[in-house]
Structure 1
Amino acid sequence: MSVPQGSVCARCPGLLGKSCCEPRNGEHLAMVTRADMERIHAHTGLAVHRFTHREGLTDLEAQEYEGQWPLYRGYFRKGPVRVTLAERRGACIFFAPATGCTLPAEVRPVACRLYPFEQWADGSWSVAVGRYGDLALARQEGGACLGVEEASSMEALLAMFGTTRETVEALGARLAEEARAHGRG
């Protein structure tokens, strides 16, 4: 088996057809917090409404979302409105097909920096393979995240993204804090 060449994120669109920055029908781009919006605005100078999309949810949908994704608990406290990155031409407004995200890592939404890792409702960490539910099934079914497709273990996946469990957990804690603050207004 040959060793994959280049960043997993840079290779993804060519090998899987779309990147996580190019949502398929029914999928959403990353949810953003007020802190994310402030960082992006400060870096780009763009008004927040130019790079975000607001979507109203029912109270039940918001409650179910927070129940399923614990890092977002408190996000909907001020109302059931999901704020995501905006799409342009089928991709995130900050996505460049040849190079990927145009935002520096420290400016990107925390959810983007955390992807493909997520915390489940029981507090355990896994990979964001919502279509499939676990690493083995995502690899078997295809079309998830190229890193998930290529990694042989969670440790290999962490290495592919140049991160550690500790860094992922710290980003998760940051996202949880920013989501709570988002809900406070």
Structure 2
Amino acid sequence: MSEEHLCVRCARLGPTCCQSCQIYVGPGDAERISQYVGEPVEAFADFRYPDDPIYLTAHDDDPIWPRTVIREDGHRRVLNRRENGDCTFLGPTGCRLPLEVRPLVCRLYPYDYNQAGIKPRLASGCPVQLLPPGRSLLQELDMNLADAERWHRMLYDEILREPHARLDDLPPGVLPANGATNAATNAPAGEASGAGNGTSDAAAAAATEKG
């Protein structure tokens, strides 16, 4: 890995995903974070309407997501942000939460996914033009498909616990009989195409990506 982390270089381009995105906090996330920081979920998260309303209709390939994550009034539980837009847990050197405590959507990024599993291509928000020659985005971020699949299973099992979940109107066969989601992967994740700039690309992608 290069001496300077990709996320550090990304931050120099402008607001990062930790500074410009609403981050969904699932029931399991809320419990883990609350236990770690010693505070109730209300201290670090709240229900809010999406910054971009297109988020409410951008999940055609994932019918479980809007029926569990998003309440009928369009709000979902997200991490608080400071006045400058920074995530409440963003510190001088990155996230102040340990990896296994961070929200699952944070751990999974830049993997893209739906209820069926991890998608073949990565999300487009990371500045891939800053990668060292011969390095992939996943190598530079020290991420692997096995962890992503585990976190994906956790995420889709835990969103079913949302008290506002509306599962009665799901299409037939979407929800397995045992209540757990099918985390079979579609294909090994590849690199995102093109050279995202980490700022405008990330902001545009955030409207439709999970979070």
Q: Tell me whether the two structures share a fold, i.e. TM-score over 0.5.
A: yes
What letter is aligned with 1:40? I
User: What is the alpha-carbon root mean square deviation over aligned residues?
Assistant: 3.2
Q: CA deviation at 1:77?
A: 7.4
Equivalent residue in structure 2 for 1:82, among 76, 82, 85 = 76
What letter is aligned with 2:8? A
* Partner Cα separation in structure 1 for residue 108 and residue 77 of structure 2: 17
- Within 5 A, what are the aligned runs for 1:19-168? 19-23=16-20, 28-56=21-49, 64-69=57-62, 72=65, 74-76=67-69, 79=72, 80-88=74-82, 89-96=84-91, 98-120=92-114, 124-129=119-124, 144-146=125-127, 148-151=128-131, 156-168=136-148
Preserved CA contact (<8 Å) 1:71 1:172 = no
Q: CA deviation at 1:45?
A: 1.5
TM-score for the superposition, normalised by structure 2: 0.62
Higher helix share: 1
Query: How many residue pairs were aligned?
Result: 159
* Partner Cα separation in structure 1 for residue 76 and residue 54 of structure 2: 10
Question: Counterpart of 2:47 in 1: which secondary structure?
Answer: strand
What letter is aligned with 2:98? P
Aligned to 1:18: 15
* Partner Cα separation in structure 2 for residue 93 and residue 43 of structure 1: 14
Q: CA deviation at 1:10?
A: 3.1
1:102-158 Cα offsets, whole Å, 9 max, x none, are 1111110011111111115775232222xxxxxxxxxxxxxx313x334589x8222
Question: Counterpart of 1:92 in 2: which secondary structure?
Answer: coil
* Partner Cα separation in structure 2 for residue 40 and residue 85 of structure 1: 11
Aligned to 1:138: none
* Partner Cα separation in structure 2 for residue 4 and residue 18 of structure 1: 22
What letter is aligned with 2:154? R
Preserved CA contact (<8 Å) 1:71 1:175 = no
Higher strand share: 1
Percent identity over the alignment is 28
Q: CA deviation at 1:53?
A: 2.8
| Residue segments in structure 2 that go unaligned for 5+ positions in a row | 166-211
TM-score for the superposition, normalised by structure 1: 0.70
* Partner Cα separation in structure 2 for residue 21 and residue 117 of structure 1: 16
What letter is aligned with 2:89? F
